[in-house]
Structure 1
Amino acid sequence: MLRSIDCRIEADSELDDLQAKFREKIKGRRFLFVLDDVWEESNPNWETLGKYLTKGEPGSKVLVTTRSTKVAEVSGGALRSEACTSIVEPYHLKGLSEEESWNLLVRKALPREVLRDPQVQEIGKQILEKCDGVPLAVSAIASVLADSKDPKTEWPSFLQKGLSSILKGEEDPIMSVLLLSFNHLPSYMKNCFIYCKLFPKGYEFDIKMLVQFWVIHKYIETEDEGFDCFKTLWGRSFFQEVVMDDLGNMSTCRMHDLMHDLVDSMGGEKIMRSSDSICLENISLTTCHLAITGDRNDGSREDYYGDHEPGNPCKVRTLICLKNLSNKELKQICRNFLRLRVLVIIEGSNSECNASSLDASLILSSVHKLKHLRYLGLGGSGGEKIPNSVATLVNMQVLKLVDFWRLKELPRDIKTLVNLKHLELDSEYVVLNHVPKGIGELKFLQTLSTFVVGKTVGAGLDELKGLNALSGKLTIEGLAHANTPREGVYVLKEKLYLQSLVLDWGRDCDRDVDGVTLLSTRDEGMLEMLWPHSNLKSLMIRGGGVYQGAKLPNWLSGLTSLVEFSLIDCKRFEYLPQLHQMFSLIKLTIQNCPLLKGISHDGDGGVYQGAKLPNWLSGLANLVEFSWIDCKRCEYLPQLHQMSSLKKLTIKKCPLLKDISHDGGSGVYQSAKLPSWLSGLANLVEFSLIDCKRCEYMPQLHQMSSLKKLTIQNCPLLKGISHDGYHGDYNSMENSATKEEDDNWPRFHCLSSLCIKGCPMLTRLPTFPTLEGELQLDNVSLAPFARTIKMKMRRGGVDYLEGYSYDDTNIHPLLPPPSASSSSALIHPLSNLTKLALSDMDDDLESLSHHDFKNCLISIQDLTIEQCGRGVKLPGSLCSSIYLIDIALFRCKMVEYLPPLHELPSLKMLTIADCPNLKGCWWKKQQGNNDESSYHDYYNFDPSMEEEEVVKEGEEATEEDWPHFLRLSYLSIRCCPKLTRIPLFPTLEGGLLLEKTSGQALVRTMKMKAVVVAAVPHHHVDSQQHSATTATTTTTSPSSSLRTALVAPLSKLKEMIIAGIDDLESLPEEGICNLTSLQEFVIWECPRLASLPPAMRHLTSLPSLRVNDCEKLTERCKEEDWPNISHIPYILLNYKELQNLGTEVFLFSSAIYYAIQSLLTKLSFFPPSCMDRRATMIEAARCYALPLL
């Protein structure tokens, strides 16, 4: 349940931590939990769950689905007593009706010619009675009956012998029906299905990978047969939820839980799946296929696999690890699993497993020992080279490398892998220098994801000619280095199975700019020789800025099967040929073709010399996505209303674009009213208008009923969207705006995401009350935003909006009560918005209506404010949502005070940077346990009177008198020299960065004795509560009392960086003792910090300490304080000395490069404003550390 809320939760955490995090996640929230297919019958466990659920808001619900009546009874009774105010009796899901079951059977099993035969119908209905209306059972039986050649004679026999014998005496008739369907499979299909036992329930199968496994184990002969086998199993309901890729290929699928239960009952010990770590001594001698899908226990056991006895070798043929393994575990694989055919070590479906963290080089260096290996799939960082020893695995059929972002060279003797069928480099970051010579000799090669032409070494294009079995996607890079194939030699034309082709000329190539004419002829000739087969579905031509051709190849118009076409970075292209013959084209992208000035005319074959695109472009009736990017000479776009299927339209960096063609004439429409046909794009889901400097007017986008995502960026002259009744001058429209006009303002009806940047004149925009995802406003007027939040919307009316309803019993504590005119029927716009970013706003944020503002933004989770605000206060209404998790404040020069952020119960991350006048957060003095929120007083707070209301510097106050953040995990404060009044932060877990600010809050936090965290709900059961028998749907209510836990401050902090803290003289001894979880400790530019306390000796788990530009501290660490820190493995004193290659570099580790790189790359909580500095530091580390290794 916790992982469904936050996928970042680590599954190997302690139970107490998981319970605390679960209570924290649901506290103050109204939730719906769906517990699907539950088998837990333990009453105490359900009661424990019920106690956790009481932290939710009233109206929260839990839905339990189960195949067990006992589970329904137990769960209902337990949850009723612990957490629920209302119970819904179990709903017993009914099966299909007799008619529905018959229709399903007919569709899957009955030929039309026998459909009307009364005898067949009668027997069929008798068979269906045994299926009990379960759709999966009906489908399974139908798949068996579909093989009958004569239903009249075979169906009665099946009913009397096959079905009756299977169902006789069985407690679970549904499982028996599924087993019957399995028994009717051919033996090779049974093996294919049983092999799926290796994968956990709910796993998303890669269909191509699964078929490859079947072939390698010789369940089937060829992959074509394998895909046919899969289609048959899919048709018989053994698989479901098949997902197709963009080119119509089967990509992924899942298995129904009932089918997974069936496969789990098969295979015996021959196929094992472990949800926990497993030792070799526990593997049966009969086990052939092994999967490790569970979490290892902290990777601390050295002999994870142990060593097999020489006379009793391991017989495992398949080893699939869907969880990351330690380096020690990796080394054991090639020592003990010598008979492997399939080895896969790659991240599973859970997000916390990061493939890139696997050191795959440990496997690659010794994998040559696995002489029988046919499939190798690795994910992670494997170095720059694949060892040439891998080329000795002559049985290898599939080599799949995922996220090998540093890979530059393949094995030089790759031609010896004579059985290789698939070479998959599944990462956009692979930067191969070249492909080795001899790759053209691999005649069985079907997948070659990347072919790179090297500058001086490696294979040439001629080696592609013989690889006619290639299928799927092929990317050819470095064409600027390639020699033009001999005339008449078309290296791609015979590859009829190739579906997707990328032709990339490369980047940063040194080419003779003086020979542009020669290069143009050469590149155009090269492109002609790369003529693909007409079956090609996707083509991208990427010039990389070095392609010098001025036209597209003649063969382009012959690709009638093309679905996607992209033309990118071809800077000398002038004309685009007719594309209207590409009837199947779905996606068209033209990007960064600055000289493109015309497209071939419909009639005479000439070209338009102007900047207007021809109307035949709108004849691409199947086009779904159209992107026109960085075409600087384009002024006008054609009519698009005939593109009835268009869902995504992007217009970006077209600085001369003025308008869109009018309905009637051949000219362009110059008035403010845009053509009516634009509203006919009823299926448009996403529209982007970016960097169109001359664009002034936009169509009436609010009439596009399907529009969900709108992006408008860098259109400085854009004024707005036309309004019914106002088609004239925009200035007069703005001046005539009235309250009545605001009430009748047009609005987007289903828009969920809106981004507007760099449009200072844009004021006339429809309102956007339905936003649910993200709202970004950067350098734009606040008028549209203000107009939206002032909307009055009521239930039941024409303007009904799904949102938050306010009444006297449903107001969260951080919001002021609604006005007297409000009613429970009032719905506030933007009440479902979860992410808000405001930047570079000329308007004063405090000018917004406080009441309407606060009532709207009640679901915000992520808030970013950058370079905004003229007043000294940040509007508290912006950050009063109880769901706020992340707040970032950048470059707000005038702001002096923040709202009482410590009252936000969900706040996890806080970033403040470059706010020179910021003094701190405001809170009431000695507010104690007062239930009244400080937000109410902050709204009327007078900055001139702050000393009367807050704790003064000279007062006698302990650290416990200062408020503290409730859940804060990450805190970053930079360049805020006046910031002294900030709540304390004892709950930090991830990281702390303090730079050029006061150290007072840090010292106060470290001096705290204990902190109350993670309130645990305590419950009182009402003895008068109405009892009922069972329940599957429950409604929770909050508890009236709480238990609390005391935790040492900063005891879970992992990374701490303090830099430029001028007022920091010492670190509290008692605070240092609490930093037991610290993994990185960095101190920079703290001139008054003179020593590290003896308590540093208690930090026995601290792996790294960095001190830079702290003269006093550096000297102390070398002498008096050295005993306090000598136990730390990696100590770096004075980074500048290292940078300048000074003579006195203190580095107590041989891994100097690791030390610096570890410091720099782990600072994941740097705000965006720090990124330039961080990149400079990384480069310095590489330059100066590597020579010292």
Structure 2
Amino acid sequence: MATGIVISVVEKLYAVLHSEELREICSMFGYDSELDDLKMTVFTIKSVLLDAECKQQELTHGGRDYIERLKDAVYDVDDLLDEFNTMVQKTKGMKGGKISKKVRRFFSRSNQFLVAYNMSHEIKNLRSKLDKIAKDRQQFGFSDVYVPLKRREETMSFASEDNIIGRETDKEAIVGMLIGDSECSNNVDFVTIVGIGGLGKTALAQLVYNDSKIEKAFDLRLWVCVSDDFVMEKIFQKMLGGKDGSKIEELQREVRKLIQGKRYLLVLDDVWSESRDEWDNLKSFLNLGGTGSRVMVTSRSKKVARVAGDNLMYELKGLSEENSWNLFKRLAFEQGKEPMNSVDRFFDIGKEIVKKCVNVPLSIRVVGSMLYDQDESKWLSLKSANLMEIGEGDDSIMPILKYSYYHLTPALKSCFSYCALFSKDFVINKQLLIRLWLAQGCLENPHDCRSEEDVGEEYFSILLHRCFFQDTIKNICGEIKFCKMHDLIHDLALEVAGKETITCDSLREKFDKRIRHLSFTVNGDNLLASTCTQLSEMKKLRTFFRTAEWQSRNLFELNLTIICSHLRQLRVLHLGRCISDTLPDTVGNLFHLRYLDLSENMSLKVLPNSITKLLNLLVLNLDFTGVTELPHDIRKLVNLRHLSVTYCSYLRHMPPGLDTLTSLHMLTTFVAGDETCNQRDIGKLRDLRALVNLRDELTIKFNDNFSCDVAEYEEVELIRMAPLKQLTIVFSEQGAAIHETLLTGLQPHCRLLAISIEEYRGLKLPLWMESLTISLPHLVRIYLVNFNCLTILPSLSQLRHLKSLMLEGISNVEFMESDGVVVPSENQVTFFPSLEELQLHELPKLKGWWREETSRVTGNADASSVVVPSFPCLRELALKSCPHLTVFPSCPKLISVELFDCHEALSLLENKTAVPNNPTTGLVLHLKNLTIDNVGALDCLFGESLGCIQQLSIDGFQEESLSNVVEKYARHISSVEIMDLRDCPNLKSLSGVVKHLTSLQNLTISDCENLELANNEQGVNVTSWKSLHLLSSLTLDSLPKLSNLPKGFQYLTSLEYLDIDSCENLEALPEWLNCLTSLQNLLIGCCDKVKSLPEAISHIPSLKTLDLSWAGEDLKKRCRKPDGEDWPKICHIPHISFKKIKMSVSYLKELKGEETEEGSEMNHG
């Protein structure tokens, strides 16, 4: 029986049950002893719940029902005590004396003495109810003595290599790590194999252990299965062959004798200990071995690898698809081959089953073994079954995965089980997750100077290191922003969360009324109306979370009143993209609410003042809303910790009283006051001074007509806010005369990692900006935008940690560095030592980096007198609208370049006069991605140093033909895998281009109004399209001269994705369309002359998706089921879409930002 997050609820009850206020209320009516008994009962319940979790495989139906009743009772107590706590908070909000007087005054007002009596009586009743349920525990075999773990079977060193498939590369890599030269000063190195349960870490270690190279390299090999017993005495016993009964001193002597002076290999299998002290004790003893000794560790925890040291960690991944299938075949078919009869049928079913196993060997072995010698019905049954339910006892998948879960503390178990709220493959925002944990009470109260958010960061880190999370995405500051869960780990989360957490990813007629946490991952328009009406009956619900990607409001906006009126136990309410224009006043009734998300409702202009009744509110998210002001009484939200108002463009000012919200840890934006408003109704920037806990990011935005009280800005003292990591300051055009004074007063703390300043109109910068190497030495990112009056930039090249620099709209700067060219001496920092990304946009007067270097190139200086540094780490360069820039420092490690509206003679300086043998000397050799508007400039830029381009975008090209350039650079362009042709208004032909694109996989052609792709296109042989034999994706967008698809397209036999959009003169799809034998996705939009589909489409069995969302109405009508004339042609296609959909604003914005920083292509929920 899964306990879900109820364990955290039980833990939180302790703090409330020990509060003085609660004892005072109970003592008023003689219920002190009832309160003490309740504490003991809650303690017993915690042990029973943990015991039940370990025994869930053996639970009877009655036992499961008993645990459900117990959990319900715990939640009831939590609700009651939370209600009491809220009432106490109201009394604390009153002016007056001691707590006891406040309490009595509160209850005497409005004749509320009865309320106190009723609450005390309720506590007595609930204690009796809990007691009765707790006493029944022995009837169902539960104990109040928690035994936390079940031991795994002992592993051994031998394994049959024939039974292990697809690990040859992994084995060779680890063998190389074990026998290779070591940089470690100790005699022994540690190599750790890390991965989730079921990947085959032990099997891989066995392969390595028995490899012939390993046998020859080591004098002695030892295998120890550690598991939970990371005790030196037991490890020594196993090293000595299981010797028992000896004292630790004797064991140490014998082990020392065994390993001293010998080059040994010790395998420590299945290690869980993350204790540095335990590891240090073991490591100091193991160093007695000979030079070159190795300890190979297998673990599910990356922290184990870190603690073990030496940074030799091998992260094991799943098998390849091919090897997964080979393993499955070996187990499921006789002699490892598909049966000759009905091959296709078993092949297709088997492929689907293997896909569910997500390349994890354990899953494949369990499923494959079960299917051996079974008929088709059994295969079909397993195809539709839950993978976690397959197998029995120790031979099933779940116990292996659950072993990781059992090693978590109760708080971590609750945090992990709450992750079942997200759907598979969902990209989880780390900060969102931590705030949800906070709202549900999953985070323990820290007993030191840390905040609960710090505890959440620690919990996330532990779960990440133990492989519960993976596929992390970091921002430019190196902080993790997003992650995912492996599919099997997600299944584990669902299992341990139990029935109280439901992810609605399909249409449901009926929900269990006992559901506590509900998330929708489907488009709201597709939800049954009955699903929404059920909400009023789900009175126990604590989480209502919307995760759908698509914008939809129809049903939800009709039911906001139901949600706010009936779901009174909610702790988390996510209404993103659900509100038409108003939020009902009844939202103020949700006094248990901790988390309220109203983001992405641009029509939401005003918040009801009743929202300030939510005294327990911790998180309020208003990102991307149309709110013009925040509630005047927001000061009442004394527990608020996170207030997010990012991209609230209509917000005119902040409310008064923000300085009283001293619990705030995050305030994304502060809008400086508007003089046109009543000054009593607006917050002052000096209010920030009281918010000493602010962390992460802060934007200060000066609206037009902002108040110009300079003294106020000097009082802000951002320099005191050490936890702040990112600061953005956005000035307005008005008040430009005091911009310099304002910026002087807004100096941040020296630990700041990222700074952005926009719309600055000062003639010069304050001192702290002119000396960033001293004032902000840890900067990782700098964005300066629209500095129209500035003529001299601060020196940035010596910032040691700077990784990203963007300068945009700086109109009057001619040179990047005001000083001359400086060659770093031995003790100086090199030129931009860490810079990886550089963007220079709209610098119309920029001529070069240094005046001397520019003069040298133009012939006005002695070249021998100037030594030009190069960018040692620069990987991404974007130069846009810098028409006078003709020379640029060398960038030998460039991978990506974007060039728009730049001088046609722009060249990269070669560092020939630099220090001999300098590894940074030379031009671009590694370029992979190139975006350019004038391909004729390639000669000046790169010459023969242009590498093998993989991604080429030509945007804004003005010539009629590309053939001359393509012919010249054919050997470079032949490696292109992705190509975009955009906004090339004069381009008429692809003559001479297609035949060179032999590696092309993805082609997009858009907004080329004169481009003809007709069958008789000039100079293009129909068969030249055969060169695109690898092309899998083709997009044709806004090509008005496209009337028919070229006949050469029929040779694109690898094409899987075809998107034809806004080709207004396209008349029909060809009858040879079935020649595209690999086509899986076909999209047709805004091609109104296409009235019907060809018969050939019915002969493309690979086609899985047909998207007509933006097709003409005539074509849609012919394709609709069941009477459309073209329906018989497409009825075999599994997914057909007619509905226009729109992606959410934050999804696009967030994903775009993170892709810029990390290059991620993950889909985000």
How many residues are treated as equivalent by the alignment? 766
Aligned 8 A contact 1:215 1:221 in 2: no
Shift of the alpha carbon at 1:397?
Answer: 0.9
Deviations 1:656-692 (A, max 9, x none): 1112216799999866989986663121011111111
Q: Is 1:498 matched with 2:694?
A: yes
Q: 1:900 to 1:691 in 2, by over 3 A?
A: same
Q: Is 1:317 matched with 2:372?
A: no
Deviations 1:685-738 (A, max 9, x none): 11111111222233444xx22x11111111245444467999xxxxxxxxxxxx
Q: 1:854 to 1:771 in 2, by over 3 A?
A: closer
Aligned 8 A contact 2:994 2:1028 in 1: no
Whole-angstrom CA distance in 2 between matches of 1:677 and 1:333: 75
Give the structure 1 partner of residue 753 of structure 2: 563
Q: 1:693 to 1:202 in 2, by over 3 A?
A: closer
Structure with the higher strand share, 1 or 2: 1
Q: Is 1:659 matched with 2:848?
A: yes
Secondary structure of the equivalent of 2:796? helix
Aligned 8 A contact 1:341 1:373 in 2: yes
Shift of the alpha carbon at 1:635?
Answer: 0.4
Q: 1:503 to 1:846 in 2, by over 3 A?
A: closer
Shift of the alpha carbon at 1:139?
Answer: 3.2
Q: Is 1:624 matched with 2:812?
A: no
Secondary structure of the equivalent of 1:432? coil
Q: 1:989 to 1:652 in 2, by over 3 A?
A: closer
Give the structure 2 partner of residue 770 of structure 1: 948
Whole-angstrom CA distance in 1 between matches of 2:401 and 2:1127: 59
Aligned 8 A contact 1:102 1:125 in 2: no
Give the structure 2 partner of residue 886 of structure 1: 1034
Q: CA RMSD in A?
A: 6.0
Q: 1:758 to 1:772 in 2, by over 3 A?
A: closer
Whole-angstrom CA distance in 2 between matches of 1:404 and 1:837: 35
Aligned 8 A contact 1:391 1:416 in 2: yes
Give the structure 2 partner of residue 687 of structure 1: 877
Aligned 8 A contact 1:345 1:379 in 2: yes
Give the structure 1 partner of residue 1084 of structure 2: 991
Give the structure 2 partner of residue 383 of structure 1: 580
Q: Is 1:594 matched with 2:773?
A: no
Shift of the alpha carbon at 1:648?
Answer: 0.9
Whole-angstrom CA distance in 2 between matches of 1:119 and 1:232: 40
Shift of the alpha carbon at 1:770?
Answer: 2.3
Give the structure 1 partner of residue 897 of structure 2: 710
Q: Is 1:93 matched with 2:204?
A: yes
Whole-angstrom CA distance in 2 between matches of 1:204 and 1:176: 26
Secondary structure of the equivalent of 1:595? coil
Aligned 8 A contact 1:360 1:380 in 2: no
Shift of the alpha carbon at 1:402?
Answer: 4.3
Q: 1:890 to 1:670 in 2, by over 3 A?
A: farther
Give the structure 1 partner of residue 727 of structure 2: 539
Q: 1:333 to 1:387 in 2, by over 3 A?
A: same
Query: Aligned residues: percent identity?
Result: 18
Give the structure 2 partner of residue 230 of structure 1: 459
Q: TM-score, normalised by structure 1?
A: 0.53
Q: 1:753 to 1:450 in 2, by over 3 A?
A: same
Aligned 8 A contact 1:769 1:830 in 2: no
Residue in structure 2 matching 1:450, options 636, 645, 650: 645
Aligned 8 A contact 2:905 2:940 in 1: no
Give the structure 1 partner of residue 1052 of structure 2: 904
Q: 1:212 to 1:460 in 2, by over 3 A?
A: closer
Whole-angstrom CA distance in 2 between matches of 1:478 and 1:74: 65
Q: 1:573 to 1:663 in 2, by over 3 A?
A: closer
- Pairing 1:811-890 to 2, within 5 Å after superposition: 829-837=973-981, 839-840=983-984, 848=992, 853-855=996-998, 858-864=1000-1006, 866=1008, 873=1018, 875=1020, 881-882=1028-1029, 883=1031, 885-888=1033-1036
Secondary structure of the equivalent of 2:620? strand
Q: 1:723 to 1:71 in 2, by over 3 A?
A: closer
Aligned 8 A contact 1:528 1:553 in 2: no
Whole-angstrom CA distance in 2 between matches of 1:963 and 1:334: 52
Give the structure 1 partner of residue 779 of structure 2: 585
Aligned residue type for 2:545: V
Give the structure 1 partner of residue 714 of structure 2: 528
Shift of the alpha carbon at 1:474?
Answer: 1.8
Residue in structure 1 matching 2:543, options 342, 347, 354: 342
Gap runs ≥5 in structure 1: 1-68, 77-89, 153-168, 273-286, 309-313, 348-352, 512-518, 599-612, 727-745, 794-827, 922-958, 971-986, 1017-1044, 1059-1066, 1079-1094, 1103-1157, 1165-1189
Whole-angstrom CA distance in 2 between matches of 1:226 and 1:330: 37
Secondary structure of the equivalent of 1:553? helix
Aligned residue type for 2:515: V
Aligned residue type for 1:438: D
Q: 1:217 to 1:719 in 2, by over 3 A?
A: closer
Aligned 8 A contact 1:214 1:226 in 2: no
Q: 1:674 to 1:372 in 2, by over 3 A?
A: farther
Secondary structure of the equivalent of 1:410? coil
Q: 1:430 to 1:72 in 2, by over 3 A?
A: farther
Q: 1:226 to 1:903 in 2, by over 3 A?
A: same
Give the structure 2 partner of residue 1042 of structure 1: none
Whole-angstrom CA distance in 1 between matches of 2:1002 and 2:739: 50
Q: Is 1:466 matched with 2:660?
A: yes
Give the structure 2 partner of residue 1076 of structure 1: 1120
Shift of the alpha carbon at 1:230?
Answer: 1.3
Deviations 1:221-276 (A, max 9, x none): 433584276168438726344665556655445556776676666x5xxx32xxxx
Give the structure 2 partner of residue 370 of structure 1: 567
Q: 1:652 to 1:74 in 2, by over 3 A?
A: closer
Give the structure 2 partner of residue 65 of structure 1: none
Shift of the alpha carbon at 1:858?
Answer: 3.6
Aligned 8 A contact 2:847 2:854 in 1: no
Aligned 8 A contact 1:101 1:138 in 2: no
Shift of the alpha carbon at 1:541?
Answer: 0.9
Deviations 1:958-979 (A, max 9, x none): x99x644755999xxxxxxxxx
Secondary structure of the equivalent of 2:931? strand
Q: TM-score, normalised by structure 2?
A: 0.54
Whole-angstrom CA distance in 2 between matches of 1:915 and 1:622: 51
Aligned residue type for 1:753: N
Shift of the alpha carbon at 1:371?
Answer: 1.3
Shift of the alpha carbon at 1:359?
Answer: 5.2
Shift of the alpha carbon at 1:494?
Answer: 3.0
Aligned 8 A contact 2:625 2:647 in 1: no
Shift of the alpha carbon at 1:885?
Answer: 2.9
Residue in structure 2 matching 1:291, options 502, 506, 511: 502
Higher mean Cα deviation, 469-478 or 189-198? Answer: 189-198
- Pairing 1:969-980 to 2, within 5 Å after superposition: none
Whole-angstrom CA distance in 2 between matches of 1:846 and 1:595: 45
Structure with the higher helix share, 1 or 2: 2
- Pairing 1:158-169 to 2, within 5 Å after superposition: none
Aligned residue type for 1:292: T
Whole-angstrom CA distance in 1 between matches of 2:431 and 2:603: 26
Q: Is 1:440 matched with 2:440?
A: no
Aligned 8 A contact 1:346 1:355 in 2: no
Give the structure 2 partner of residue 328 of structure 1: 529
- Pairing 1:267-282 to 2, within 5 Å after superposition: 267=496, 271-272=497-498
Give the structure 1 partner of residue 370 of structure 2: none
Gap runs ≥5 in structure 2: 1-158, 167-200, 210-219, 240-247, 260-264, 286-391, 446-451, 823-829, 914-921, 1131-1137, 1145-1165
Secondary structure of the equivalent of 2:598? strand
Aligned 8 A contact 1:216 1:341 in 2: no
Aligned residue type for 1:833: E
Q: 1:473 to 1:331 in 2, by over 3 A?
A: same
Deviations 1:275-305 (A, max 9, x none): xxxxxxxxxxxx5x22225x42xx4x6x443
Whole-angstrom CA distance in 1 between matches of 2:687 and 2:408: 43
Aligned 8 A contact 2:550 2:1143 in 1: no
Q: 1:441 to 1:92 in 2, by over 3 A?
A: closer
Aligned residue type for 2:979: K
Give the structure 1 partner of residue 917 of structure 2: none
Shift of the alpha carbon at 1:210?
Answer: 4.5
Deviations 1:334-356 (A, max 9, x none): 22210122222323xxxxx5355
Q: Is 1:779 matched with 2:957?
A: yes
Deviations 1:148-202 (A, max 9, x none): 99999xxxxxxxxxxxxxxxx9957999898777656554444445555666666
- Pairing 1:386-405 to 2, within 5 Å after superposition: 386-405=583-602
